[in-house]
Amino acid sequence: MFPILAALLILGTPATNTLCPVMGSPVDAKSQIVKVKDAEYRICCGSCERKLTGSPEKYLNADGTPKNAPKK
């Protein structure tokens, strides 16, 4: 169990979002992935990568969830 936890700490949190944090477009397993603050996010295009990495606080909550994530 400890090797799995250690791997998660090293690799960060894998992408699980279904909407691009920037544009809100649907994303899936084939979408581009960008790493921001030790977490991965799927994005819809290259311009969203620049926006998300340049101003993550604009698109992500303090806990790392995308601000446009569906409410549970």
Rounded Cα distance between 60 and 56, Å, is: 6
CB 60 within 8 A of CB 43: no
Per-residue pLDDT at 2: 45
Q: List the chain residues with pLDDT less than 50.
A: 2, 4-10
Predicted model pTM: 0.79
CA triple 14-19-22, angle to 5 deg: 95
CB 61 within 8 A of CB 68: no
Who's near 23: CB < 8 A, 6+ residues apart? Answer: 44, 45, 48
